Amino acid sequence: MAERLLLRCRDIPDLRRLDVYLAHGGYEATRKALTTCSPEQLVDMVKASNLRGRGGAGFPTGLKWSFLPKQTAKPVYLAVNADESEPGTFKDRVIIEQDPHQLLEGIIISAYAIRCHTAYVYIRGEFALGAERLEAAIAEARGGGLLGRNILGTGFDLDVWVHRGAGAYICGEETGLIESLEGKRGYPRIKPPFPATHGLFGCPTIVNNVETLACVPHIVLRGADWFRSIGPEKSPGPKLFCVSGHVVRPGTYELPMGTPLREIIYTHAGGIPGDRKLKAVIPGGASMPVFTADEIDVPMDMDSVQKAGSFLGSAGIMVMDETVCMVWTCLVIERFFHHESCGQCTPCREGTGWLEKVLRRLEYGEGTATAADVALLLNIAANMTGTTICALADAAAMPARAFVTKFRAEFEQHAVLGRCPLRPVAEPPRRHAHA
């Protein structure tokens, strides 16, 4: 794709400023949506575009919107998920920091479509710059009659509030996010009921990811058919891929959905530095099953990646070359999930810590690990799968199962040697008192 839409900020300096944004056709989509479309037409348009959620689950956005009750006396809320916390993911951050008006347009149009007059942007606590720029953009938009009462003279009212998180991965889970917005501990809620009927403050609520909403203005301007024509029809559109790890040019890339993983790594990201061999790639953020070097001929769209045994997830592509120990990588990932488990459900609360402990003794245990530990990892992961309120347990179990299954010999070698064959180093000091 020659033209960059989601990453127009790369081509237009200072696009985050309202005057620059307006000079480049900014808020035309908003004007078009609010003056020429009914909310129903917009929902239908997004449905027809086959836009699927960019947060990780890939749920059809228009369908999600249509779950809202048709008649309700309660206010409808839009909660924008800007809690981007999946390790290896840094796409929403670019939009928020460099092109916040694109997001605001998406918020305004989507809010209009779902008859919402109050939207909350739940932004990851560490995104201090993003929160600052978003607040500035909101103030500018409000000053320009693009937010607040009677937007663009259409009679549509919308307030957007920025709420900064306090540093919990789980608050990116949509009901954990809602609880946190309500001022409570970030505990995912048991479902049903779902947010579309019982969300924020018990009211109908739609939670959408930043990148998802950023797609909406482009759909309005160019049409659902255009959107559907990019990449595979069932999961189309421009897509941001976050490439990190052992590549020459790590970064965020806007490419058509369905771009082959090999092309992303070797063409766009410049391949592996130093002529080293590729060993493993995580395609969709830390929680998604890892691919071996032989498995990267996969189009990066939701259905294709799933068919290949993993998930597109947040499109956080983490590339590892031959120098990387898979046990260590798995340990780092499980340490993260152990640290981030909210502790509500038994299998996740106890299982994440257990996984980390077994991995730690395989990697650093100086002989305390046994051959049975490899099977134990798979067994713990299996017992964590599908048994909890939210998907964090699955998110922790999936990488463990994938790493052990696909690199079993390496795990077994650790058990036999009693240490890591690749990184024969002492255990580093633990980062967290609780780790």
* Interface with other proteins (CB under 8 A): 168, 185, 190, 338-354, 357, 376, 383, 386-389, 434
Instruction: Provide the minimum distance between the beta carbon of 358 and other proteins in the complex, in angstroms, as a whole number.
Output: 9
Q: How far is the CB of 343 from other proteins (least distance, A)?
A: 4
Report whether 283 contacts 261 (CB < 8 A). yes
Minimum CB distance to other proteins smaller for 165 or for 231: 165
Closer residue to other proteins in complex, CB, 66/385: 385
Write the secondary structure of the chain as one string of H (helix), E (strand) and C (coil): CCCCCCCHHHCCCCCCCHHHHHHCCCCHHHHHHHHHCCHHHHHHHHHHHCCECCCCCCCEHHHHHHCCCCCCCCCCEEEEEECCCCCCCCCHHHHHHHCHHHHHHHHHHHHHHCCCCEEEEEECCCCHHHHHHHHHHHHHHHHCCCCEEEECCCCEEEEEEEEECCCCHHHHCHHHHHHHHCCCCCCCCCCCCCCCCCCHHHCCEEEEEHHHHHHHHHHHHHCHHHHHCCCCCCCCCEEEEEEEECCCCCEEEEEECCCEHHHHHHHHCCCCHHHCCEEEEECCCCCCCCEEHHHCCCECCHHHHHHCCCCCCCCEEEEEECCCCHHHHHHHHHHHHHHHCCCCCHHHHHHHHHHHHHHHHHHHCCCCCCCHHHHHHHHHHHHHCCCCCCCHHHHHHHHHHHHHHHCHHHHHHHHHHCCCCCCCCCCCCCCCCCC
**Cβ closest to other proteins, residue 70 vs residue 434:** 434
- Comparing CB distances to other proteins, the nearer of 292 and 383 is 383
CA distance 280 to 321: 7
Shortest distance in whole angstroms from residue 360 CB to other proteins: 10
Q: How far is the CB of 374 from other proteins (least distance, A)?
A: 13
* Smallest distance from other proteins to CB 348, Å: 8
Nearer to other proteins, 46 or 171 (CB): 171
Alpha-carbon distance of 183 to 357, in angstroms, equals: 33
d(CA 116, CA 97): 25
CB nearer to other proteins: give 17 or 185.
Answer: 185
Give the strands of the sheet with 251-256, arranged side by side: 251-256, 238-245, 316-321, 278-282, 291-292
In the structure encoding, which two tokens stand for residue 351, read together?
Answer: 């299982």
Minimum CB distance to other proteins smaller for 263 or for 350: 350
When the beta carbons of 210 and 327 are compared against other proteins, the nearer one is: 327
- In the bound complex, what is the minimum distance in angstroms from residue 388's beta carbon to other proteins? 7
To other proteins, the closest distance from the beta carbon of 2 in angstroms equals 43
Which residues are within 8 A (CB) of 172 and not within 5 positions of it... i.e. 6 or more apart?
55, 81, 83, 84, 85, 86, 124
CB of 424 to other proteins, least distance (A): 23
Minimum Å distance from CB 434 to other proteins?
5
- Shortest distance, position 183 Cβ to other proteins, whole Å: 13
- Backbone torsions φ then ψ of 98, nearest 5 degrees: -105, -25
**Nearer Cβ to other proteins (177/261):** 177
The CB-of-383 to other proteins minimum distance in angstroms stands at 4
Residue closer to other proteins (CB basis): 75 or 309: 309
Shorter beta-carbon distance to other proteins: residue 32 or 357: 357
